[in-house]
Copies of this chain bind each other. A is one copy, B any other.
Amino acid sequence: MTAPTHRIGEPAWDAWGDPARAHHLTPDQRALIAQVLGVPATTAAPRAAETELRVARSALPPAARAALAAAVGPAHVNTNPAARLRRAGGKSTPDLLRRRAGDVARAPDAVVSPADHDQVAAVLAACAEHGVAVVPFGGGTSVVGGVEPLRGGFAAAITLDLRRLDRLVALDPVARTATLQAGLRTPEAEEVLADFGMTLGHRPQSYEYATIGGYAATRSAGQDSAGYGRFDSMVLALRAATPRGTLDLGRAPASAAGPDLRQLLLGSEGVFGVITEVTLRVRPLPAAEHEEAWGLPDFAAGTEALRALAQGGLRPTLVRLSDPAETFVNAVLAGAPAPQGCLAVVRCEGDAAYVAAARDAAAAALRAVGGAPLGAEPVAHWREGRYSAPYLRDALLDAGVLAETLETAATWSRLPGLRRAVTAALTTALGGGGGPEPLVLCHISHIYPEGASLYFTVATAAGDDPLERWRAAKRAAGDAITAHGGTITHHHAVGTDHRPWLGAEVGDLGVEVLRAVKRTLDPAGVLNPGKLIPASAPGTGRGGGAGSGTESGAEEGRR
């Protein structure tokens, strides 16, 4: 069991990541915001200081506290307000707006930190016995309400902090698999793997903070998904603690031994159990690499090139295509001249033969649609800032700009119509009132033979009630996504925020299946109430009984 030597610390409570890395807008940027979004350059959004906050007293009943202390040791049941505040929710724009306004009503009643799988199991048993909701927590980077400490009708909710599960359990250099504990942040995982010359290659924007267990529980996708695959596709085996016992799933690289039950835990967002250990595909650190930016005449041409790459035999490791608006805004933010059309970045890494072949395939596909190479510099620039966009978002919130993102995926055939529909929904919902139109930027960053993701970035004047403004826009966008054949989420997961659309995506009967699995593994309904599984329709009489803790969590939800 190897532990990393460099541990990433706790992120800020009211912003993304490391407070020391906070972004500060330049006067030029402020002027541009005034011009484009109509937000005066002197605007300063209110932001509560930690000393002003009143985190409610812990409601954890003494008997439950004693049982939890017995499970993990008294030192690891923390009711300190500062610790609870830092687990009061995730990192979506609404999350930050609420906390910055001093709304910390949803802080958990305790932060419980088990050391290993057995302690996780003991915590779940204690919570099931004492009727305490359990919210699994890794990096806390959810942008869909996934780590919101909802009580779900129970008297108290604890955050189950998995950060002490931070070891490399096993590495198989022949099969190229690594068994990692759930609480490792990505840089920590990469550090222990690099000692063996290996890498995971999973690099989402939340790379610096998100954890192995969180990736598995939310079906994350990294920016290098074209080459390394989505996180769920890297999972050979997993171990999960549930109130009914332990699940150890996956032993072979492929199997026909019934339905693939690993897939019920992947994406289960802590409502069925707590993933404590994941055995993942790893690869040798790349021996060669090549990266290049390309200018494309328009988004349709760029999309066509990406489709050709996805459907060909030689995919790059990373490919990313910005629409003209995003291309323009990124250039302005970088202080660079804005190119015509769209920017694509391509990166290939691996052994030399693969890199050469994939580079040539990418160049051929991009040239075929009128693309022109722009050199490596724009890719290096993008790469240096690849994890920093949330810091810019936070600075925009300070400056009175409502900035947020959302994402979907669909088949190549549906992609253009889906993009138009979502853009129109956001523009209509956030426009009007005589002010400037909102900025709606879009890029493709994950490609598959059958289709691709669409990632939207929105910026608009915050106005008097940015939470309500975003709620309306998000609702309109979600409805447009569902109506136009997209999935409600390609990689952000469901949490509280996407629950209203899950029934449309998997059907009422699919939701019933999820409830049946929930009742089997978590009969008391204490696991992450109010997340993922839609609340029962009133009066249907379904989903009650043992699962009612979960269902009533909906009343605490935001929608």
- Chain A: residues with CB nearer than 8 A to chain B? 172, 174-177, 218-221, 230, 232, 236, 242, 244-249, 251-261, 263-269, 281, 283, 307, 311-314, 350-351, 353-354, 357-358, 360-361, 408-414, 446, 448-453, 485-494, 498, 501-502, 505-510, 512-514, 516-517, 519-521, 532-533
Cβ-neighbour of A255 out of B265, B490, B521 (below 8 A):
B490
A-B contact pairs, 14 of them (CB 8 A): A175-B450, A176-B450, A247-B510, A251-B487, A252-B409, A252-B487, A252-B490, A256-B267, A256-B487, A257-B488, A260-B266, A312-B354, A313-B353, A353-B357
Kindly list chain B residues whose C-beta atoms are within 8 Å of the C-beta of A245: 507-509
Q: Given A507-B248, A513-B517, are A254 and B314 neighbors across the interface (CB < 8 Å)? A: no
B450 touches A236 (CB 8 A): yes
Name which residue of chain B comes closest to A354, CB basis.
B313
Q: Shortest Cβ distance from A406 into chain B, in angstroms? A: 12
B175 touches A247 (CB 8 A): no
B350 touches A313 (CB 8 A): yes
Q: Given A267-B258, A350-B313, A516-B517, are A451 and B252 neighbors across the interface (CB < 8 Å)? A: yes
Task: Tell me, in angstroms, the Cα distance from A409 to B283 when the chains sit together.
Answer: 21
Cβ-neighbour of A251 out of B232, B267, B485, B502 (below 8 A):
B485
Task: Tell me, in angstroms, the Cα distance from A313 to B350 when the chains sit together.
Answer: 8
Of all A-B residue pairs in the complex, the 5 with the closest CB atoms, nearest first, are A313-B354, A253-B448, A263-B263, A252-B487, A175-B411
B450 touches A244 (CB 8 A): no
Known: A252-B486, A257-B488. 12 other contacts (CB 8 A): A174-B307, A175-B451, A249-B506, A251-B487, A253-B450, A255-B505, A256-B490, A256-B491, A258-B494, A259-B264, A353-B357, A357-B357
Name which residue of chain B comes closest to A520, CB basis.
B516
Name which residue of chain B comes closest to A498, CB basis.
B257
Kindly list chain B residues whose C-beta atoms are within 8 Å of the C-beta of A492: 256
A509 touches B247 (CB 8 A): yes
Q: Shortest Cβ distance from A529 into chain B, in angstroms? A: 15
Q: Shortest Cβ distance from A389 into chain B, in angstroms? A: 19
